[in-house]
A and B are shown apart, each in its own frame.
Chain A
Amino acid sequence: MPDTAIAEAPARAATGGNILQVRNLEAWYGESHILHGINFDVNAGEVVTLLGRNGAGKTTTLKSIMGIIGKRSGSVKFNDQEIIRATSDKIARMGIAFCPEERGIFSSLDVRENLMLPPVVREGGLPLDQIFDLFPNLKERLNSQGTKLSGGEQQMLAIARILRTGASFLMLDEPTEGLAPVIIQQIGHTIARLKKEGFTILLVEQNFRFASTVADRYYVVEHGKIIDGFSNAELAANMDKLHTYLGV
C-alpha cells in the first residue's frame, strides 16, 4: 500500500500533551459493579493498549469513556474537559470515535452507507481516497450489503468509517479478534500508519504479540482495576509478569 497520501496529510496532534485523563472510573451493568476505580492517562499521538483477561473490564472501560454505560462515576477528562456526565453523541462530537468489538456493521445498509454513516464531527477527517488507499477492498465492495463482507473486510469497514469523522482520538476494541494472521498484519500496518498520521489510539487487545507491534504503552486491567503499566521499551523486562497477568 502506498504511503504517499498519508505522508502528505497534516499531523493531527503533537505527541506528548495529555489528551485523556481517567481517574477513579467506576461502572455498573445493572447491579453488577464492573469497574472499581480505573486510573490511566493517554498522551496525544500515542497508541496505548489495555491488556487483560476476558471479563477484566477492558471493553467496559472503553464504553464508559464513550458514555455508553448508563451508570458510571469518577472522572474522565478529554482535552481537559470533563465528559463523565456527557451523552455518547456529545462525546463523539468532541472528537472521540469508538470501534466496537462486534464491529457494528449495519445489515440494512450497504458498504457505502455504512462508511458514510458517522457524521463528520470536525475538520481533519481522512478523505475517501485516502481511506480507500488504506483499505482497497472496500472500494470494490461499496454496493454490497455490509454484513455480506468477510470478517476482515467488516473490521476494515468498522475502522474506515470512523476515520472520516475528523475524530482525533480512536478507541479500537479488539480489532484483531477472529481474524486471519494476514488480516491482523494489515490491521497492524493500518494502526501504525494512523499513528504516523497523528491519531491518538486507545486499543483493547488480548493478543499482546499484535499489540507489541503498534503500542507505545500498556496498562494491565484486572478485576476492574489497572494493576500495572509500562512502556513498550519495558515490555521485554515485564514479559514474565505479563504472562502471569494474562494467563498465557
Chain B
Amino acid sequence: MQALYAQLLVGLINGSFYALLSLGLAVIFGMLNIINFAHGALYMMGAFVAYFLLNLGGINYWWALLLAPIIVGIFGMILERTMLQWLTGLDHLYGLLLTFGIALIVQGVFQNYFGSSGLPYAIPDQLRGGMNLGFMFLPVYRGWVVVFSLVVCLATWFLIEKTQLGAYLRAATENPTLVRAFGINVPRMITLTYGLGVGLAALAGVLSAPINQVRPLMGADLIIVVFAVVVIGGMGSIMGSIITGFALGVIEGLTKYFYPEASNTVVFVLMVLVLLVKPTGLTGRAA
C-alpha cells in the first residue's frame, strides 16, 4: 500500500508540471494560435536561470521563483516581438516549425556549454525533510510543489476567467480586430500573454530543479507528454489543461503501480482514445 501512495504522490508531482506547462501552452494557443514547441526549452531555461541565480549571484530559491519566470518571460516576449508576431494569420504549421527550431537552438546552446548530465540544485532549507502522514511518508518539498502548482494554476484560471483583463484576453481570442477597435492595444496584450505562458513554463522549471536536477534536455523529455495532455484536455481550454494535467499525472502514477510496462505509454493511449471519441479534446471547443 505504501508503494501505491508513493506512486500517487509521484503522479501528483508529475501532474503539477504537466498542469503548469499545459496551462502555459493553452494560454499561448488560445491567444496567439501558435503551438509553442519551444515550451520545453523555456521550461529548461527557467531551471537554468534558477541555477545561475544561485551559483553566480547567490540568489536563493525563493527569489528564483519570482525572478526566473520574469527573466524567461522577457526572453519569450523578445521572441514574440522579433519572430512570432510575423506568423499572425498563417497556418499553424509555420508556428510549430519556428518554435521547434527555437527549441533546438536553445537546447543546443545549453548542451554545448553544460553537456547532457544534470547539475545539482539543492532543496531550500525550509522545505527539507518529510512528514509522516501515518499511511505514507511525504517529502515536504514534493508536497510544496503540488500545493504551489495548484495555487498558481487556479490563480491563472481566475485571472483569465474572472477578471476584466481576462475578459480582454478571451474577447481578443475571438475577434482581435474588434477588441483593438475598442481601444485596447491587442499586439501588446499578445506579447504579454506569451510572456505569461512562458513565465509559467519557467516557474515549472524552477520547481522541478531540486527534484529532477538541471539538464539541457529536461524540457525535451517532458514536452511530448505535455502536448498529449493539452490535446486530451482540449487546445486552448484553461480549466481543461489544469484538470487533465493533474489527472493524467495521477493516472500515470497508478499505471506505474498496477502495470509498470504501460506507464510510459498510457498518456498516449488515452490521447488516441480521446481523439477518436472527441477530436476537440475533453473540454475543447470546435474550431
CB–CB B186/A106 < 8 A: no
In the docked arrangement, what's the CA distance between A153 and B175, Å? 20
Q: What's the tally of chain B residues with a CB closer than 8 Å to chain A? A: 18
CB–CB B181/A92 < 8 A: yes
The yes or no answer to A93 lying at the interface (CB within 8 A) is: yes
Closest to A90 in B: B183
CB–CB A119/B183 < 8 A: yes
Q: Report the minimal beta-carbon distance from B263 to chain A, rounded to whole angstroms.
A: 37
Closest to A110 in B: B167
The yes or no answer to A4 lying at the interface (CB within 8 A) is: no
In-complex Cβ contact of B183 among A68, A89, A107 (8 A): A89
Closest to B177 in A: A68
* A98 with B175, Cβ < 8 A, contacts A106-B170, A116-B164, A117-B167 known: no
In B159-202, which residues have CB < 8 Å from any A CB? Answer: 164, 167-168, 170-171, 173-175, 177-186
In-complex Cβ contact of B186 among A89, A100, A104 (8 A): A89
Q: Report the minimal beta-carbon distance from A53 to chain B, rounded to whole angstroms.
A: 25
In B74-88, which residues have CB < 8 Å from any A CB? Answer: none
CB–CB A68/B181 < 8 A: yes
Q: What's the tally of chain A residues with a CB closer than 8 Å to chain B? A: 25
- The A contact surface, by secondary structure, is loop
Residues of A within 8 A of B178 (CB): 100, 104
CB–CB B174/A89 < 8 A: no
In-complex Cβ contact of A88 among B164, B173, B174, B180 (8 A): B180
CB–CB A108/B173 < 8 A: yes
* A116 with B184, Cβ < 8 A, contacts A106-B175, A107-B174 known: no
In A108-164, which residues have CB < 8 Å from any B CB? Answer: 108-109, 113, 116-119, 121, 162
Closest to A92 in B: B183
Q: Can you list 22 A-B contacts (CB < 8 A)?
A: A66-B181, A88-B177, A89-B181, A89-B183, A89-B186, A91-B181, A92-B180, A92-B181, A93-B183, A97-B182, A104-B178, A106-B174, A107-B174, A109-B170, A109-B171, A117-B167, A117-B171, A117-B179, A117-B182, A118-B183, A121-B183, A165-B182
Interface residues of B, Cβ cutoff 8 Å to A: 164, 167-168, 170-171, 173-175, 177-186
The yes or no answer to A45 lying at the interface (CB within 8 A) is: no
Instruction: Please give me the 6 A-B residue pairs with the lowest Cβ-Cβ distance, nearest first.
Output: A92-B183, A118-B182, A88-B181, A108-B170, A104-B178, A106-B171
Closest to A95 in B: B183
The yes or no answer to A87 lying at the interface (CB within 8 A) is: yes
Q: Report the minimal beta-carbon distance from B73 to chain A, rounded to whole angstroms.
A: 23
Residues of A within 8 A of B184 (CB): 89, 119
Q: Report the minimal beta-carbon distance from A202 to chain B, rounded to whole angstroms.
A: 14
In the docked arrangement, what's the CA distance between A66 and B178, Å? 10
Q: CB-defined interface of A76-105 with B at 8 Å, one 1/0 digit per residue? A: 000000000001110111000110100010
The yes or no answer to A57 lying at the interface (CB within 8 A) is: no
Residues of B within 8 A of A165 (CB): 182-183
